[in-house]
Amino acid sequence: MKLYTYFRSSAAYRVRIALALKGIAYEAVPVHLLRDGGEQLGDNYRAVNPSALLPTLEDDNGVVIGQSLAILEYLEETRPTPPLLPPDAAGRARVRALALTLVADSHPLSNLRVLKYVKGELGQGEDAKLAWQRHWLHEGLATFEALLTRDAGTGRYCHGATPTLADCCLVPQLFNARRFGLDLTGFPTLVRIDAACAELPAFQAAQPARQPDAE
């Protein structure tokens, strides 16, 4: 199994966590988002993934998947132990909705290509770009915190006593939030769960600083 990844890509980070939790060995294929104008934009990577976004998973059976949440679901279906989705439909819906709060509604807004457009085509300076990033990070995390605090399903992790896909998505987004100086005092539940995840070897192994392409 191959994972096209970049150490600081938070979408790749989600998948690295799931691979580590499930104990799946893989070959990391680094794609440098900044070198040579962005290796992800070159013909080589576009032939693998036409979106020119990370990550992409290539399974040994030839299956190629270019969306982090689709990869997580595929790993769950093909390598079900340990499970990263709860057994009941309501619980699964809750975990998926939590994940999508970040995967769909928050993270894409501060992706590198979007920041480039905000600075380039929209002519914004560094301060406005940073405010933009923080705004959409804050919106996503505020919704996530509200969803956790109102629901008895929240446990040591986002849903119950073991990590799920929601935790795989939360931890990388909190990494982004800290990297870009977001104030996390309004998100005590997220910070608590992030600390619980950080104690697990799988979450540690997936950290950006531990990747072979880390700088």
Residues near a second copy (CB under 8 A) are 50-51, 53, 61, 63, 65-67, 69-71, 73-74, 77-78, 89-90, 92-94, 96-97, 100-101, 103-105, 107-109, 114, 117-118, 121-122, 124, 128, 131-132, 135, 142-143, 146-147, 150
Q: How far is the CB of 106 from a second copy (least distance, A)?
A: 8
- To the nearest whole angstrom, how small is the minimum distance from the Cβ of residue 112 to a second copy? 12
Q: Which is nearer to a second copy, 56 or 211 (CB)?
A: 56
* Side-chain half-sphere exposure of 132, counting CA atoms within 13 A: 18
Shortest distance, position 50 Cβ to a second copy, whole Å: 4
Structure tokens at 18: 């799931």
CB of 162 to a second copy, least distance (A): 20
DSSP one-letter code for 73: H
| Identity of the residue, 146 or 209, whose beta carbon is nearer to a second copy in the bound complex | 146
Q: Among residues 43 and 199, whose Cβ is nearest to a second copy?
A: 43
Please identify, using beta-carbon distances, which residue of 67 and 207 lies nearer to a second copy.
67
Burial 61-99 (b: 16+ CB within 10 A, else e): eeeebbbbbebbbbbbeebeeeebbbeeeeebebbbebb
The nearer residue to a second copy, 97 or 191, going by C-beta atoms, is 97
How far is it, in rounded angstroms, from Cα 136 to Cα 173? 11
Let me know: does 17 contact 206? Beta carbons within 8 Å: yes
Least distance from a second copy to the Cβ atom of residue 51, Å: 4
H-run or E-run covering 2: strand 2-5
Contact (CB, 8 A) for 63 and 74: yes
